[in-house]
Structure 1
Amino acid sequence: MSNSELAAALPARIGVLGGGRMGAGIAHAFLVKGADVLVVERDEQSAEAARERVESAAAKSIERGVTDANLDEMASRLTVGVDYDAFKDRQLVVEAVPEDWDLKVSSLRGIEERLEPDAYLASNTSSLSVNGLAKELQRPANFLGLHFFNPVPASTLIEVVLGEQTSADLAGEARRWVAALGKTAVVVNDAPGFASSRLGVAIALEAMRMVEEGVASADDIDNAMVLGYKHPTGPLRTTDIVGLDVRLGIAEYLQSTLGDRFAPPQILRDKVARGELGRKTGKGFFDWS
């Protein structure tokens, strides 16, 4: 497709629930491609912080020459707020709240009840069952997983996760959306951990066990994967970027669904208990201070 065709493939009005690192990145991805973007947060302070994240990312995109739009023009297409009712005119809403089942369900229900019947709803979950979430909704045919990767602006991958009831029309639309965002779609049917989290967490957990057992340092283990297998970032540094608490939650879920091969090692539990969550706290398997 041409650039104009790609742009036309995106819904004009996008909603994002959650304006943290991931939500802001998702909002930025659509904003750069010309969409009108609404970000809803839990309170006014969080909403303003989300605005700052998105606008900062937009400014960096301009500096890098990713877009020829100016910051004022992009800012005019960005709205932040705290009211779910603002989602009522959105054609697509992406939920990007933390990986907590009850929070995901309540958030998705709250969005869906405000959307028009033909609007689409997506979850940015990295591991939770899309089929399970769909069962909590009134229109499961209009729901799927859109798993963006951190950091969203630099990542070229989006995992499109199809539920059993996801419509064929939505599956096709999602592929076009990903292409229009300048990224590549990996399409998977719903399964625990999908493709990316299941493989990524398996490697990361084994790397943690190797540190725990004194096989090698975190640096050397990561360098082995970067230099030997051409991974852009080693599994332990990636864990620090994602967040040790996030990786622990995914591992516990995969253990409950796929068995003890995904059991979190004690070193991971200990670091999370100490608040060593990775880059966001300044320390994880590496020192980020």
Structure 2
Amino acid sequence: MGDIQTVAVVGAGTMGSGIAHVFARSGFPVILCDVEQRFLDRALASIHTNLGREAAKGKLTEADVEQSLSRITATVDMESLSVAQLAVEAAPERLELKSEVFRALDRILPSAAILATNTSSISITKMAALTKRPAQVIGMHFFNPVPVMALVEVVRGMATSDPTFAAVRDLSVKLGKTPVEVNDAPGFVSNRVLMPLINEAAFAVMEGVATPEAVDQVFKLGMAHPMGPLTLADFIGIDVCVDIMRVLQEGFGDPKYRPCPLLVRMVDAGWLGRKSGRGFYTYEK
């Protein structure tokens, strides 16, 4: 593996902008790519705000903020990613969309470059098989909010090589993150364990065992979780939780992973959590 100097981030949503922020803050030139300029403008504004927050807390100087911002180039032209040694795909969690992005990256990036995906549940092995470089494909699963959360799940597909793994593990440390090695399986470790917890909490509410407030209090006070599972579900997005439960159900073929009917009804109603203003709790828009 050559040295990773320039990084491409594809997808300028919440996760993509956070990933670009962290790479730029750590000294890497970043090319942030999305399909429309307005998505890029929104991402750059968000990165500026979040770097400003870090400066206000004394974690960065004003000069650090300006230097970090100057390292980010925003573009709608995917062909310009050809100078990167690593691409991190952070497109929405839909296989067709991610597949399209991965095929394009495989064509555009140099043959020695690593292709990483920030997927939270889609098979790394399946994504790698779409490319001519399966040994250089890996999962790099960051957690939201990316600048704050220390964990990166580094996920090996069936064909991921040891040098690819080592390069991404070492890179994660340079970003100030803690890499944890995980093998490719539906939901990896994080969502395989978390989503059934959220799902079971939703069943407890649906069956009238307890209110959302009571369920969350039990986990905050009894298990020392910083937030309860239903507050967390609202933060993640109820629709995302249902999608990941379906990935687990399909991937394992086990009915224990079926999404709670209450979660499915909430998605049908448009109660997606914090982003829609209503989930298990209501939020000011």
TM-score using structure 1 length: 0.94
Unaligned segments of structure 1, at least 5 residues: 1-8
**Could you say what the CA RMSD is over the residues aligned between the two structures, in angstroms?**
1.4
Measure how far apart 1:70 and its partner are: 3.2
Is 1:56 matched up with 2:49? yes
TM-score using structure 2 length: 0.95
Paired letter, 1:41: D
8 Å Cα contact 2:242/2:264 also seen in 1: yes
Is 1:94 matched up with 2:88? yes
Aligned equivalents of 2:27, 2:138: Cα separation in 1: 23
8 Å Cα contact 2:25/2:64 also seen in 1: no
Aligned equivalents of 1:71, 1:233: Cα separation in 2: 30
Measure how far apart 1:191 and its partner are: 0.6
Structure 2 residue matching 1:38: 3-state secondary structure: strand
Q: Could you tell me the percent identity over the aligned residues?
A: 38
Structure 1 residue matching 2:50: 3-state secondary structure: helix
Structure 1 residue matching 2:108: 3-state secondary structure: coil
8 Å Cα contact 2:3/2:85 also seen in 1: no
Match of 2:235 among 241, 248, 266: 241
Aligned residue in 2 for 1:4: none
Aligned residue in 2 for 1:256: 250
Is 1:15 matched up with 2:8? yes
Write out per-residue CA displacement over residues 198-249 of structure 1, whole angstroms, 9 at most, x where no aligned residue. 0000100000000101111111111111211111221111111111111111
Measure how far apart 1:65 and its partner are: 2.5
Aligned residue in 1 for 2:267: 272
Distance 1:271 1:183, change over 3 A: same
Aligned equivalents of 1:91, 1:76: Cα separation in 2: 19
Paired letter, 1:60: R
Aligned equivalents of 1:58, 1:12: Cα separation in 2: 21
Distance 1:188 1:111, change over 3 A: same
Aligned equivalents of 1:65, 1:178: Cα separation in 2: 23
Write out per-residue CA displacement over residues 91-148 of structure 1, whole angstroms, 9 at most, x where no aligned residue. 1110001110111100111112100111111000001111111111110111100000
Paired letter, 1:137: T
Measure how far apart 1:173 and its partner are: 1.3
Match of 1:177 among 162, 171, 177: 171
Write out per-residue CA displacement over residues 141-196 of structure 1, whole angstroms, 9 at most, x where no aligned residue. 11100000111122111100001111101111111111111121111110111000
Aligned equivalents of 2:140, 2:59: Cα separation in 1: 22
Write out per-residue CA displacement over residues 235-281 of structure 1, whole angstroms, 9 at most, x where no aligned residue. 11111111111111111111112211110111111111111111111
Measure how far apart 1:10 and its partner are: 8.0
Aligned residue in 2 for 1:42: 35
Shifted more, 160-169 versus 68-77: the winner is: 68-77
Q: Between Structure 1 and Structure 2, how many residues are aligned?
A: 281
Match of 1:79 among 73, 84, 98: 73
Measure how far apart 1:71 and its partner are: 2.7
Match of 1:167 among 131, 140, 161: 161
Aligned equivalents of 1:141, 1:249: Cα separation in 2: 28
Alignment of 1:89-168 (within 5 A): 89-168=83-162
Aligned equivalents of 2:180, 2:281: Cα separation in 1: 30
8 Å Cα contact 2:124/2:156 also seen in 1: yes
Measure how far apart 1:72 and its partner are: 2.3
8 Å Cα contact 1:10/1:35 also seen in 2: no
Structure 2 residue matching 1:192: 3-state secondary structure: coil
Paired letter, 1:211: V
